[in-house]
Structure 1
């Protein structure tokens, strides 16, 4: 459903898997399958695979067909059971709800072992949607019903692109937090994250976090044995880590903070006095400290209250690449998403020495990850020149194919949270034709305290007015 961000090496997370709501499925919401074409662009290939979807017609009364697009993760059984804005729109418009699992993710696999990745792309997925809509309309007698697609993050892109490319099949789209542009070196992600951390948290929290991260990154390079001792590591980490090992381990050091920014729950987001995700984290971190605390005390509190490492398994680059090359059931989705970043989008979040995160996350390390995981068996590329050229070519093609921010578009409602680092690549309120953005008959809206896809969560009560505006615009577009 939603765009997992490839947050450096370690931080592969999905917004829809972070929602703690233990809701059960309702109505006739249960898994079904559709015989989907393996390759839409080769008319000699008639092979099919089973693509999963969910249906919920519990509030349907001749309203629109509303399709929730699942992204880089497994389609959850409770997707149509009251967590997300699709339920609100369906109830208000008497809609027929469907959720579609993305090819290669969850159980919608073409290759059960995930070795053959050639049919995984956003273009194939949009073609999947073009075949799926007439099937659903025929299956459930919805021939004359209007169609709305909804997506967030990566599938925010898919929802918008599908509306642009399939206007004959899709009448309107809600596109939340979608990074509409591919980019190889996405250095603005970590810069934006730091800016938001400084803005949201206290001076003391920012200072102490910077002290901890600077010291730990230095110790990781200069004295890895002491680094292991400080964290009390029980997982495997080499006594003499390579540069690649250091890049992986360094990315783990800020995983929780980055996740807490991207998925930030603002104070009172629930209209029930919630304190705020980063505020809670900083309070725990700072509780045992004073302004006179030593560096050692700051590091100890950071490890205890912000970022443990034992939870991540083996801390080596080899283990990371081996998992990508030979995925288990737990890592199929990670392999699929990283394949898409290596063949379509890039999105690699790099850092430099001027940032609190350290300077270990380089564009070279991410390109090497692509090469080692997917291309090394196909060609020799010791200086990564071929792989770099390939990535740049594919990202340029993606931007040309979809138009980035400058595509003709109508009947799409774009939302972005100002806290969300992915908004740096999005179609956003305020940019104009002179900035390289064309909006057309669409709506763009900033959510001031919003983070990644927050308007899709019904638990975000302070976004109720946003959803009401989306609803009113959908009704207008469907007239």
Structure 2
């Protein structure tokens, strides 16, 4: 959720990558952009004969749309769609160039798009949460848009739609083009780890990249303190007095007093380090949580500056440094170790990670994390305990979307920030004359989809120019 967005200068197309920084308003208005909120009645299950539907939310901005112009469609991620709309200013920056309608579709089971209302997260009702169902939702909405904005008495032609997405949304944007090429003419898939599955990449690469970001923007001393802190944390929490000390020092919201709580804390802490590396943008942002520019550097500077004399002071100082992430605004009363962001549907995403999107991550002595091998059996058992389900077909996602056999598809740009840990599972080399890879040397998590900023480097600017060139090519072909 960026604190700024760009104002497009209409008079000069060459200025689309420059911007005025304006305050963003949460809710429905983003600087000069105002969304119409729409709902589509989509089937709960697209692949059986049944009549049950639910309200799928989507957002429309028609400020720059001219009849016959394309639709720029964002395929929603694992959270409230407004968060992604706030952080994908690139679509608005280039919409006037193409007279485009801008649409953001919320992913089923996230935000307000709940197939079974407040009962959507029960194991029985979660069975309709799959990427293939989500893609069918998007096609359903595209057909509604076609009837509303393109079809006339004289023509029933296909609406020119370009899909955009970042992270899981980027995976969906690419898969939408692959599975439904008559609905989408091309896709900009940013930070999309479509190859991050079993037997496709070494499981240790993810944490190695995170560690590299902390070493580059912090210091080796910072990563050494983090690496040593895991054993300290484990030792301190072996006693009830140690647990109480950590509970009070880190201001933990939930009750904290057993081994399960410690494991939850370790996972929470690991996720925070990952999130800081992913969102290590060169300006302040509100994406995932409010953060300063270069949050990794800010965190490491604070951690290294504090003097630790014993295990308890080490953990206390780590807690102080963590406020860069947990309490940058100064408004956090306590820290919930059940979540690292109130805008992401973490419980629901974990279900997807258990049943379909199993992405193996392990840590070794080469990174700053607690050393843990990937244990598929243990992972499956934990999923079964939490949701009553597990992934019985761990390789199905590869079969479903083609794995690395992308040469049969067309009109997709895969872009990756090379400082983003998810880049290790992304497409980083050209596949064909129609499947391109754009590598942003100093980029982090979908940097290129954010609004233009005066501090943007040439790498991200050039990536955006390549996207514009590609979209023009697709539309000319259309």
Q: TM-score, normalised by structure 2?
A: 0.78
Query: Superposed, which structure 2 residues align to 1:110-129 within 5 Å?
Result: 110-112=115-117, 113-114=119-120, 115=122, 116-129=125-138
Task: Find the partner of 1:287 among 294, 299, 305.
Answer: 305
Task: Find the partner of 1:71 among 71, 74, 77.
Answer: 77
Deviation at 1:422, TM superposition (A): 1.0
Q: Any conservation in 2 of the 1:176–1:453 contact (CA below 8 Å)?
A: yes
Deviation at 1:132, TM superposition (A): 1.7
Question: For 1:348-368, what per-residue CA distance to the aligned partner results, in whole angstroms no more than 9, with x for missing partners?
Answer: 533346542213686355333
Query: Corresponding residue for 1:260?
Result: 276
CA 1:67–1:275 in structure 2 vs 1: closer, same or farther (change >3 Å)?
closer
Deviation at 1:374, TM superposition (A): 1.5
Does residue 315 of structure 2 align to residue 299 of structure 1? yes
Query: Corresponding residue for 2:165?
Result: 151
Q: Distance in 2 between matches of 1:77 and 1:277?
A: 19
Structure 2: which 5+ runs fail to align? 2-22, 152-156, 286-291, 328-332
Query: Superposed, which structure 2 residues align to 1:192-203 within 5 Å?
Result: 192-203=209-220
Q: Distance in 2 between matches of 1:134 and 1:67?
A: 12
Question: For 1:454-476, what per-residue CA distance to the aligned partner results, in whole angstroms no more than 9, with x for missing partners?
Answer: 11111553323321221011101
Does residue 377 of structure 2 align to residue 372 of structure 1? no
Q: Distance in 1 between matches of 2:116 and 2:347?
A: 12
Deviation at 1:133, TM superposition (A): 1.2
CA 1:132–1:216 in structure 2 vs 1: closer, same or farther (change >3 Å)?
same
Deviation at 1:177, TM superposition (A): 0.6
CA 1:27–1:209 in structure 2 vs 1: closer, same or farther (change >3 Å)?
closer
Q: Distance in 2 between matches of 1:275 and 1:154?
A: 24
Q: Distance in 2 between matches of 1:101 and 1:162?
A: 15
Q: Any conservation in 1 of the 2:75–2:138 contact (CA below 8 Å)?
A: no
CA 1:235–1:277 in structure 2 vs 1: closer, same or farther (change >3 Å)?
closer
Q: Any conservation in 2 of the 1:216–1:227 contact (CA below 8 Å)?
A: no
Query: Corresponding residue for 2:10?
Result: none
Deviation at 1:159, TM superposition (A): 0.7
Query: Corresponding residue for 2:186?
Result: 172
Q: TM-score, normalised by structure 1?
A: 0.78
Deviation at 1:69, TM superposition (A): 1.3
Query: Corresponding residue for 1:405?
Result: 404
Query: Corresponding residue for 1:10?
Result: none
Q: State the secondary structure of the residue aligned to 2:163.
A: strand
Q: Distance in 2 between matches of 1:421 and 1:332?
A: 19
Question: For 1:411-452, what per-residue CA distance to the aligned partner results, in whole angstroms no more than 9, with x for missing partners?
Answer: 11110111111111111137xxxxxxx445122011111111
Deviation at 1:477, TM superposition (A): 1.9
Query: Superposed, which structure 2 residues align to 1:265-344 within 5 Å?
Result: 265-266=281-282, 276-289=294-307, 297-306=313-322, 311-313=334-336, 333-344=345-356
Deviation at 1:100, TM superposition (A): 0.9
CA 1:251–1:172 in structure 2 vs 1: closer, same or farther (change >3 Å)?
same
Q: Any conservation in 2 of the 1:214–1:357 contact (CA below 8 Å)?
A: no
Count of residue correspondences: 416
Q: Any conservation in 1 of the 2:142–2:183 contact (CA below 8 Å)?
A: yes
CA 1:295–1:191 in structure 2 vs 1: closer, same or farther (change >3 Å)?
same
Q: Distance in 2 between matches of 1:77 and 1:197?
A: 26
Query: Corresponding residue for 1:383?
Result: none
